[in-house]
Amino acid sequence: MATTGKVIRCKAAVAWEPNKPLVIEEIEVAPPQANEVRIKIVATGLCHTDLYHLFEGMHKDGFPAVLGHEGAGIVESVGPGVTEFQPGDKVIPLFLSQCRECRFCKSPKTNQCEKGWAVDRYDVMALEDTRFTYSKYLVNTCFRIFFNQNLMSFRFSVQHDGKESRFTCKGKKVLQFMGTSTFSEYTVVNQIAVAKIDPAAPLDKVCLLGCGICTGYGAAVNTAKVEPGSTCAVFGLGAVGLAAVMGCKAAGAKKIIAVDINPEKFEKAKVFGATDFVNPKDHDKPISQVLAEMTNGGVDYSLECTGNVGVMRSALESCIQAWGVSVIVGWTELHDVATRPVQLIAGRTWKGSIFGGFKSKDGVSEMVKAYLDKKVKVDEFITHNMTLDQINDAIELMKHSKCIRTVLNISPE
């Protein structure tokens, strides 16, 4: 391509400071270095994690930055050492890496990657390649996820002091968010965090498989391991929750109870396989008691998709004792989660899930194929289509729960 090896000037939505609207700017995107891929972003979804960094995390050292992590695009050029990708490939950039070489990647027990994240640090998470390294300048988005077994906490980072960022704007380095930064016409990503997908895949649809849909669907299928004939409850009916409902149905659950305080979401949940609907506001007793009465003692599986610690506890206590499994899918850094020991001593299992337990490169490619084979829904999650220039309008829709997923059309294929 004519742009290979050259700096590309393109449009991006830049977050200059926390709690302020994004600004459409012309930025410069440097050529990919060793083991890197430069991608022309065609479409991206807007996820609440982007809003969290902007409005809730608000670390002053985390700006300016280009947000976005749920995108899809086409490889424009590759750096030295890249053999898996070539210009023209359709790809999805990933916030979770898969090097296929470390002990985590080789283990079927986890979808983490030692080369991708700082898993040996409790409160820091950063890529260990040439672009994401430990530094005293490291900044984080305070993003805690509770891993299965050890409840390990960590934080998704934007880049450190910007020295290795491939973005500049008005003479200033601009940070790259979660290794992806899809609110830009072009981005640069390490090859261990890119999934090659079927060339027939529509990028303005499958971009959503880069985060929300895989996160919810996989939490049911991979983490909870929902069994045929079981009863399930899904708390929270945003995109992740609806994907969890879809996962429960795919796994063969006979009863899927959708729980949300917004009754307008119930019809949408039915599309994805929900069989029953409960609004906690309609009851004067704890939701766990309501579900226990509906299911002869509690559900076999519950999936919490709200990021509210009170709901996390309710989801656990809604499971039947002896074998109930509850999975924390939503996230928060603001409060600790707690329950009485007897809830676990009685036989319940409490688990956490990141990216639905999918090994990222392999899982995303498989989910794209499943979509093309009409085995999973994607189009049904999209409630709005907008342009990059309308990104602040899309943010307002999400802030006020007026959308499931908005797709931003960034560039033509």
Instruction: Give residue for tokens 């590309």.
Output: 8
The pLDDT value recorded for residue 59 is: 65
- pLDDT tens-place string over residues 263-275: 999 999 999 999 9
From-to residues of CATH 3.90.180.10 in the chain = 8-118+157-210+377-409
Q: Are 224 and 351 in contact (CB under 8 A)?
A: yes
What is the share, in percent, of the chain residues with pLDDT greater than 70? Answer: 87
Distance CA 244, CA 235 (A): 9
Neighbour count for residue 340 (Cβ, 10 Å):
10
Distance CA 292, CA 300 (A): 11
Write phi, then psi, for 34 (nearest 5 degrees): -55, 130
Q: Is the pLDDT of residue 58 over 80?
A: no
Question: Considering the chain, what is the average pLDDT of its residues?
Answer: 87
The pLDDT value recorded for residue 151 is: 32
From-to residues of CATH 3.40.50.720 in the chain = 216-353
Q: pLDDT band for position 2 (50/70/90)? A: confident
Q: For 206-211, what is the mean pLDDT?
A: 97
Give the CATH number of domain 8-118+157-210+377-409; options: 3.40.1160.10, 3.40.1280.10, 2.40.128.30, 3.90.180.10: 3.90.180.10
Q: Is the pLDDT of residue 168 over 60?
A: yes
Range scoring the smallest mean pLDDT among 16-30, 138-152, 180-194: 138-152
**Contact partners, residue 413, CB within 8 Å, separation at least 6:** 42, 74, 203
The pLDDT value recorded for residue 116 is: 65
Instruction: Record the tokens describing residue 36, joined without a space.
Output: 């890197």
- pLDDT tens-place string over residues 329-343: 997 777 889 999 999
CA-to-CA separations, 79 to 6, 32, 368, in angstroms, rounded: 12, 5, 26
Distance CA 371, CA 95 (A): 21
Q: For 189-210, what is the mean pLDDT?
A: 97
Higher pLDDT, 130 or 233: 233
Q: Is the pLDDT of residue 157 over 80?
A: no
Higher pLDDT, 41 or 126: 41
Q: pLDDT band for position 150 (50/70/90)? A: very low
In 88-105, which positions are buried (b, 16+ CB within 10 angstroms) versus exposed (e)? ebbbbbbbbbbbeebebb
Distance CA 219, CA 175 (A): 30
| Collapsed DSSP state (helix, strand, coil) of residue 256 | strand
The pLDDT value recorded for residue 57 is: 63
Torsion of CA 238, 154, 41, 52, to 10 degrees: 50
Distance CA 238, CA 200 (A): 28
The pLDDT value recorded for residue 138 is: 27
CB-count burial class (<10 Å; 0-12, 13-18, 19+) for 107: exposed
Torsion of CA 241, 243, 244, 245, to 10 degrees: 90
Q: For 384-390, what is the mean pLDDT?
A: 97
Q: Give pairs for 117-123: CB < 8 Å, separation 24+.
A: 117/154, 118/154, 119/152, 119/154, 121/154, 122/152, 122/153, 122/154, 123/153, 123/154, 123/155
Q: pLDDT band for position 177 (50/70/90)? A: confident
| Collapsed DSSP state (helix, strand, coil) of residue 11 | strand
- pLDDT tens-place string over residues 98-125: 999 999 999 999 999 988 643 333 222 2
Range scoring the smallest mean pLDDT among 57-71, 128-142, 243-257: 128-142
Instruction: Record the tokens describing residue 185, joined without a space.
Output: 């016409």
The pLDDT value recorded for residue 250 is: 97
CA-to-CA separations, 410 to 186, 268, 328, in angstroms, rounded: 9, 27, 32
Q: For 156-173, what is the mean pLDDT?
A: 68
Q: Is the pLDDT of residue 385 over 70?
A: yes
Q: Is the pLDDT of residue 143 over 60?
A: no
Q: Give pairs for 330-333: CB < 8 Å, separation 24+.
A: 330/236, 330/240, 330/304, 330/305, 330/306, 331/143, 331/144, 331/145, 331/146, 331/307, 332/144, 332/307, 332/308, 333/57, 333/142, 333/143, 333/144, 333/155
CA-to-CA separations, 2 to 8, 30, 91, 285, 371, in angstroms, rounded: 10, 14, 20, 65, 33
Report which residue type is found at 122.
Y
Q: For 383-395, what is the mean pLDDT?
A: 96
CA-to-CA separations, 327 to 119, 272, 303, in angstroms, rounded: 21, 19, 5
Residues annotated as catalytic (active site), given as ranges:
47-49, 69-70, 99, 102, 105, 113, 144, 211, 405
Report if pTM > 0.85: yes
Q: Is the pLDDT of residue 126 over 70?
A: no
Rama region for 224: left / alpha / beta (φ>0; ψ in -120 to 50; rest): alpha
Range scoring the smallest mean pLDDT among 160-169, 257-266, 338-347, 402-411: 160-169
The dihedral through the CA atoms of 54, 58, 64, 67 has a sign that is negative
Looking at the domain 216-353, which fold is it?
Answer: Rossmann fold (3.40.50)
Distance CA 45, CA 208 (A): 6
